[in-house]
Amino acid sequence: MNVKKFIKLFKKQVDVLYDKDRIISGNKNLGILQNSEHTYLINVAIYLAVKRYHQKNILIIPEHGGKFPSDFVLKNEDNNKIELIIEHENSKRRILYNYKKLVKNKTAKERLLICYVYDRDNIKEKIHKLKKYKRKHKIKKTIHLLIAKKGKKIFFTKSKDYVYDNI
């Protein structure tokens, strides 16, 4: 599975779902999506990206009950191998936890972490900390990272808000 192709398709779906005509609104403020509404749209974008990936044998398995290896598992139906696992995290405090969770998975070919930092945080600093953790613990696996800012003053509104890196 080509992860960069998947990320490109995912970002296209994010832009479609977050356009000015979206039909989902925030619960507290109609114009601002809270974590649950935001998570819903990201989950739909992941589903639609898998559907448009043009590889008929890729199945998506969503997390159920928190006991699953990841938020989403993309599996090759033909050989029953895990092509990609995806973690989506709204809380900046759980980014490292989810990074470790992805690293621990021994069966997936590829890993993707989609996460956010808040208004005052620095994306480059967070990436640097993850890379430092990887070096310190001699981790060989690569994690594809999509990270963006969101918060009370900065709202996530389009796929261009994401910064990509592989750690």
Prediction pTM value: 0.92
Question: 124-165, pLDDT tens digit by residue?
Answer: 999 999 999 999 999 999 999 999 988 766 667 789 999 999
Q: How many Å apart are CA 88 and CA 98, to the nearest integer?
A: 8
DSSP states of 85-154 as a string? Answer: EEEEE--GGGHHHHHHHHHH-SS-SEEEEEEEE-TT--HHHHHHHHHHHHHHTT-----EEEEEE-SSSS
pLDDT at 35: 75
- Average pLDDT value over all residues in the chain: 88
pLDDT at 32: 67
- Structural domain boundaries of the chain? 3-166
The residue type of 116 is Y
Task: Give the length of the chain.
Answer: 167
Q: How many Å apart are CA 153 and CA 133, to the nearest integer?
A: 29
Instruction: Please report, rounded to a whole number, the percentage of residues in the chain having pLDDT higher than 70.
Output: 89
User: Residue 52: helix, strand or coil by DSSP?
Assistant: coil
- Token reading at 73: 């598992």
pLDDT > 80? residue 114? yes
Kindly report which listed range (56-60, 92-96, 109-113, 125-129) carries the lowest average pLDDT score: 56-60
Q: What phi-psi label fits residue 65: left (phi over 0), alpha (psi between -120 and 50 degrees) or beta?
A: left
Q: How many Å apart are CA 114 and CA 164, to the nearest integer?
A: 9
Q: How many Å apart are CA 54 and CA 126, to the nearest integer?
A: 33
- Which CATH code for domain 3-166? 3.90.1570
pLDDT at 149: 87
Give the pLDDT band of residue 30 (cuts 50, 70, 90).
low
